């Protein structure tokens, strides 16, 4: 058997993730024929077929499925060799692949990136915004270094560092400004607008309202911006996290109200693989996230007072 190459393994891993030669080639920034040749050479070296090729899709063979699991471990270990060297240099430099859930990314990321690049100009920050299950999968596969999510996750392979907590606020039409916020029971009787399935923020809002299933009359949106604009149009009410207020409520005819105790809230933290040799550096980054959250909280308080008056 000829020597295998890391290039072949990375191309195969991309093909496993996309199950499409064209999309895998695009992810690897190579032409489709070049990727196909490398996959063929990998199969020849191993003496087995790894994929079933058809005009419409790619399927893994049994051998391909078994190899896919090992390849992922190998590539993650290779990537961690660079992390070990970086940790030994005692600095933050090179690529930093960080994931963020959509209900945090637009509001917290600009400040985090600004401070990180100022303190560590050698960092090449690469952001991935997606839902929590995707972030966990990509972390465990070594495609991300760390992620900012809502806690807890209770994943045995990941380190969780809680950074701060924040309340949810009620967004309702502007003419309702000054009225007391409804309790969870009254909120269940209103037309509540929520994010679509898959968002952890949706589940947290449903939990506050003691709803175990989604009412048929409930309307959904793909982003907090959409929900706030729908409220401004008089369609219903919604909940948003505190950090979203300054960005989202300025362009809609809405008001905000804070709930009485027990207030709905969420805990935000940073996660990374327990095996990563860059744990100390990630702790340093987590402190930057914590600091930026505190700065933003101080800035948004005057906005909250104006919109709830």
CA–CA gap between residue 248 and residue 251 (Å, rounded): 7
Task: Give the pLDDT of residue 309.
Answer: 47
In a domain, 106, yes or no: yes
CA–CA gap between residue 88 and residue 21 (Å, rounded): 38
> Could you tell me if 228 and 283 lie in one domain?
no
> Could you tell me if 144 and 204 lie in one domain?
no
**What are 171's two structure tokens?**
């967004």
pLDDT tens by residue, the chain, 309 residues: 567 888 999 999 999 888 889 888 998 989 999 999 999 999 988 989 999 887 677 889 988 988 988 888 888 878 777 666 665 555 677 889 999 999 999 999 999 999 999 998 888 899 999 999 999 999 988 889 999 999 999 889 999 999 999 999 999 999 988 888 888 888 888 888 988 888 888 888 888 877 765 555 567 888 999 999 999 999 999 999 999 998 898 878 899 999 988 888 999 999 999 988 888 889 999 999 999 999 988 876 655 455 444
In a domain, 182, yes or no: yes
Task: Give the pLDDT of residue 57.
Answer: 76
Packing angle of the helix pair 21-28, 6-18 (nearest 10 deg): 130
E-assigned strands of the chain? 51-53, 58-60, 94-100, 123-129, 146-151, 158-173, 192-195, 219-221, 237-241, 254-258, 265-273
> Could you tell me if 172 and 257 lie in one domain?
yes
Last residue of a domain, one of 82, 107, 127: 82
> Could you tell me if 210 and 281 lie in one domain?
no
Contact 181, 259 (CB under 8 A): yes
Number of domains in the chain: 3
> Could you tell me if 110 and 188 lie in one domain?
no
> Could you tell me if 272 and 160 lie in one domain?
yes
The domain spanning residue 174 has which CATH number? 3.40.190.10
In a domain, 1, yes or no: no
Alpha helices, H only, 51-180: 62-89, 105-119, 132-140
> Could you tell me if 95 and 147 lie in one domain?
yes
Alpha helices, H only, 90-180: 105-119, 132-140
> Could you tell me if 172 and 258 lie in one domain?
yes
Task: Give the pLDDT of residue 198.
Answer: 80
> Could you tell me if 153 and 171 lie in one domain?
no
Task: Give the pLDDT of residue 270.
Answer: 97
Domain encompassing residue 251 = 166-264
């Amino acid at each position: 058997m000829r020597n295998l190459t890391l290039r072949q393994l990375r191309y195969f891993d991309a093909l496993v993730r996309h199950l499409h030669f064209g999309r895998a080639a695009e992810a690897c920034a190579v032409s489709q024929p070049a990727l196909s040749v490398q996959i063929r050479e990998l199969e020849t070296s191993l003496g087995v077929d790894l994929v079933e090729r058809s005009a419409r899709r790619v399927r893994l063979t049994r051998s391909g499925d078994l190899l896919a699991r090992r390849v992922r471990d190998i590539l993650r270990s290779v990537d961690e060799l660079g992390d070990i060297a970086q940790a030994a240099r005692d600095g933050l430099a090179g690529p930093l692949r960080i994931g963020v859930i959509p209900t945090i990314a637009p509001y917290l990321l600009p400040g985090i990136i600004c401070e990180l690049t100022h303190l560590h100009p050698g960092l090449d920050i690469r952001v991935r915004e997606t839902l929590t299950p995707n972030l966990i999968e990509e972390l465990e596969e070594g495609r991300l270094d760390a992620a900012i999510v809502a806690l807890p996750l209770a994943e045995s392979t990941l380190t969780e560092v809680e950074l701060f907590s924040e309340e949810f606020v009620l967004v309702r039409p502007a003419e309702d400004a000054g009225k007391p916020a409804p309790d969870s029971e009254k909120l269940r009787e209103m037309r509540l607008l929520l994010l679509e399935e898959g968002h952890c923020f949706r589940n947290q809002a449903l939990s506050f309202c003691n709803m175990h299933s989604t009412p048929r009359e409930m309307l959904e949106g793909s982003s907090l911006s959409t929900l706030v604009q729908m409220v401004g149009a008089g369609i219903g009410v919604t909940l948003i996290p505190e950090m979203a207020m300054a960005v989202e409520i300025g362009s809609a005819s809405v008001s905000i109200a804070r709930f009485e105790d027990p207030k709905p809230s969420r805990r935000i933290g940073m996660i990374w693989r327990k095996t990563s040799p860059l744990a100390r550096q990630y702790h340093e980054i987590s402190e930057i996230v914590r600091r930026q959250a505190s700065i933003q909280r101080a800035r948004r308080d005057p906005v909250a007072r104006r919109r709830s008056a």
